[in-house]
Amino acid sequence: MKLFCGNSNPQLAEAIAGHLHIPLGKATVRRFADQEIFVEIHENVRGQDVFVLQSTSYPTNDHLMELLIMIDALRRSSARRITAVIPYFGYARQDRKPGPRTPISAKLVANLITEAGANRVLTLDLHAGQIQGFFDIPTDNLYAVPVIARDVAAHYSTDNVMVVSPDTGGVVRARALAKRLDCLLAIVDKRRERPGESEVMNVIGEVKGKDCLLLDDIVDSGGTLCNAAEALLKKGAKSVTAYITHGVLSSGAVARITGSRLKELVITDSIQPTPAIEQAPNIRILSIAPLLGEAIARTAAEQSVSSLFD
């Protein structure tokens, strides 16, 4: 088994390699003067079970091309099996046609990864579960809920915790965490006026005096979380903490979070945190290296991955 990575998240790749007790594979991923991507694998991979770790995070297109070219290089080097490990799958929010003459980009990216030569995909908390069906190769969608549940149990008295979904679309995810913690569930009903903006309308559930945990898969601008936190506190919540799998945190989001009434934002390292994120006083990073490392080990050994979440 060999593990390689691109430039999107080398820190996570090193942590996973440490968990697996194997060295990170040697490869060059660099740019020509015109920003064309060049890849060279510096190890013999003939007949090997190879895993390529690469989040398709900002700059999304560059990191996606790195992944595709690395897969192609490994395929042409006669690797026995290539697994694309994509902790954050970019373009996942474009999973359907919301209007006429719009693309389904998630399906296009799935096709590109398959055609490049990947034999299987390992990813984390897809924005929409049906994206698994966009791939014509085996795809394992891992869940961060067990990691989050352990962190909540270590930091909170679960007797006073209430899990909150920031919108109706995330209820299934929030319910899974509430079931693990054996606590109640609330929902924030919001209406989105235009992309990137949201307006909180109502809180469904009694949150007075509760330590509320907002749970979602992606935080981008941070507007939804800040508005939801404000609404919960107005309803009498004792505190509001957000647990998010993928910290996209685009321009201005970190300042918005630090200036909000959120007690804490906890994100995983599926996307490599920027210095601004690491220095933010109310943002904490939770490592998913053990989860991904165990999933990789089980995939290599042809063992069950779904049993990780039993």
167 annotated to a ligand binding site = yes
62 annotated to a ligand binding site = no
196 annotated to a ligand binding site = no
72 annotated to a ligand binding site = no
Q: How far is the C-alpha of 114 from the C-alpha of 95, rounded, in Å? A: 17
Inter-residue contact 186 to 175 (CB < 8 Å): no
216 annotated to a ligand binding site = yes
182 annotated to a ligand binding site = no
Q: How far is the C-alpha of 90 from the C-alpha of 127, rounded, in Å? A: 9
Inter-residue contact 174 to 215 (CB < 8 Å): yes
Q: How far is the C-alpha of 17 from the C-alpha of 10, rounded, in Å? A: 10
220 annotated to a ligand binding site = yes
192 annotated to a ligand binding site = yes
The catalytic residue among 190, 234, 235, 263 is 190
104: left (phi over 0), alpha (psi -120 to 50) or beta: beta
CA-CA-CA-CA dihedral for 296, 136, 55, 284, to nearest 10: -70
Q: Give me the residues paired with residue 49 across strands.
A: 81
224 annotated to a ligand binding site = yes
Q: How far is the C-alpha of 296 from the C-alpha of 164, rounded, in Å? A: 31
The yes-or-no answer on residue 234 being catalytic is: no
Inter-residue contact 172 to 150 (CB < 8 Å): no
93 annotated to a ligand binding site = yes
Q: Give me the residues paired with residue 2 across strands.
A: 50
222 annotated to a ligand binding site = yes
Q: Is 272 helix (H, G, I), strand (E, B) or coil?
A: coil
35 annotated to a ligand binding site = yes
Mark the binding-site residues for ATP, compressed into ranges.
34-36, 93-94
Mark the binding-site residues for Mg(2+), compressed into ranges.
127, 167
The residues annotated with a catalytic role in the active site are 190
Mark the binding-site residues, compressed into ranges.
34-36, 93-94, 127, 167, 192, 216, 220-224
Mark the binding-site residues for D-ribose 5-phosphate, compressed into ranges.
192, 216, 220-224
